[in-house]
Structure 1
């Protein structure tokens, strides 16, 4: 089944209304692969369960106010855990939507609420990860040069407020234009832009730039500067273990972010080019969107939900707390 040109088609491989970039005129009857839909539902369920357990553990470990004041990064990890916890709570809705062949069963109000919460927390998760990289560099460089961890970094609470504000603003198009529409007798949760293809392309370009390109650039620059700084200090202090630990943790954070999000954004960019007639709509595009795209969505969701867990497991104090909790159990 197809959509008219002045509206955005549901993301037939995901459930979110064009959240990760599906072309309007793709024939959604290709979603007739029950195996693929079952696989997506299974991954959503697994990510939801793992994300709930992991992020609740992170909240449990950082629940003491003294610990949050002690570490600026811990405060960001706390906010990241809250963000990703809200995100995983939307996955059951998308799993049901996928299982029902993308027929939206939750009504008009939830068609605005669920996509908005999903998109807002997607942005917030990426923004907090970016803020953590900048703060980590500021804290380490300040502590090693002046002996103080605060340095010239901005207020953590102000940064968090700014992140939530930016995420809310970036989510505004989703909140405004998400609506339930009837397409060939099926009720679908869609994004309908009055400008049709053009504004839909702008929507995706914003997501690519604001949600991936700029954060990836900032994260990369921050961690490269951190590695150079720590390595130079390690050589002077003759403590190579510190440099190797930081190198390992930085590599895991940056690679997990890049590898999990890049495939999804690459296909989204391809869809933007098709919408703007800068690339051809052909069978290869159809096959990629129908069979490869859902897997990139699952990969992106997994990274977004488990970010706090990945970050905490690389830190010795959190691993020690987890061991202590397991031993007591």
Structure 2
């Protein structure tokens, strides 16, 4: 089979298997149907779902139910991040079934739109909240204020509301163009843009820039400015150990997001170059998208269960509450 007619993952059509097909009319849908690979993906989705549900639920309980009345802005962002990741892992059983059926969608067109939109929206929301956490950490240290008054809590709520609105707007193309499409007798849940490859490439660029490059740039600048501020001002904030622990936990969460999502976005960018004919399609591209890309998708999804684990294990108050919960049980 020549390169033009191969089953190549170029569509970024579903977030559980982005960059799927370049030509829906000319596809060999069995090219990526390795039972071993599909079994591995299903296993990863099941583990991420179980760990993510438990971990994010614990974070929600600890912050929302057992936390003191006075909640910091960082904890408020963590609360929303836990809600985001909790919603995301709820979509994984659908993708696990879809994968087990060799990427044949059995849940109908309405559920395709809903599940696909929720998945993409929560991807955007996660990185936006991580960005807000980094900027807030810099601002709190730079302003030399350990605790904010009620005004700051209200401000954090407004920021979270804006983040959810931005995530919803960024997801609009997915909500509009997601549909179940019949491809060589198989029903696939994917994006179908009327403009073909050009609009699909623009969609990819939006996802890479808005969902990764720009947020990670803001995060990097925030931490560089934070380090510069501390070194130049010689600032010694009150309760430096507590501030150091919070800063370290936020840093690890952001780094885990970068390491989990960077391979996925890198290969997606490769797809964009192929769509714009800036890079030629070749055998290495096919092999990477067939066997490596699904692994990067699993790695990206695993990030949704890493955030609560990091916060529960790295922060003393969470460890203490978890220990009390276990002993009380």
User: TM-score scaled by structure 1?
Assistant: 0.87
Q: What is the SS of the residue equivalent to 2:54?
A: helix
Q: Distance in 1 between matches of 2:58 and 2:151?
A: 31
**Alignment match, 2:266:** 266
Q: CA deviation at 1:233?
A: 6.6
Which deviations, in whole Å up to 9, do the C-alpha atoms of 1:121-147 show, x marking residues without a partner?
1111111111111112222332x3x56
1:1-329 to structure 2, matched below 5 A, reads 16=14, 20-25=18-23, 27-64=28-65, 67=68, 69-142=70-143, 144=144, 148-149=147-148, 155-230=155-230, 245=245, 248-249=248-249, 251-329=251-329
Q: CA deviation at 1:54?
A: 0.1
Q: What is the SS of the residue equivalent to 1:260?
A: helix
Q: Distance in 2 between matches of 1:223 and 1:17?
A: 29
Q: How many residues align?
A: 323
Q: What is the SS of the residue equivalent to 1:32?
A: coil
Does the aligned pair in 2 maintain the 1:104–1:187 contact within 8 Å? yes
Superposition RMSD on alpha carbons, in Å? 3.2
Q: CA deviation at 1:67?
A: 3.2
Q: What is the SS of the residue equivalent to 1:302?
A: helix
Q: CA deviation at 1:157?
A: 1.1
Unpaired segments ≥5 residues, structure 1:
none
Q: Distance in 2 between matches of 1:10 and 1:63?
A: 45
Q: Distance in 1 between matches of 2:8 and 2:120?
A: 15
**Closer/same/farther in 2, CA of residues 204 and 165 from structure 1, 3 Å limit:** same
Q: Distance in 1 between matches of 2:12 and 2:295?
A: 9
**Closer/same/farther in 2, CA of residues 79 and 236 from structure 1, 3 Å limit:** closer
Unpaired segments ≥5 residues, structure 2:
none
Does the aligned pair in 2 maintain the 1:37–1:98 contact within 8 Å? yes
Q: Which moved more, 1:154-163 or 1:124-133?
A: 154-163
Does the aligned pair in 1 maintain the 2:114–2:175 contact within 8 Å? yes
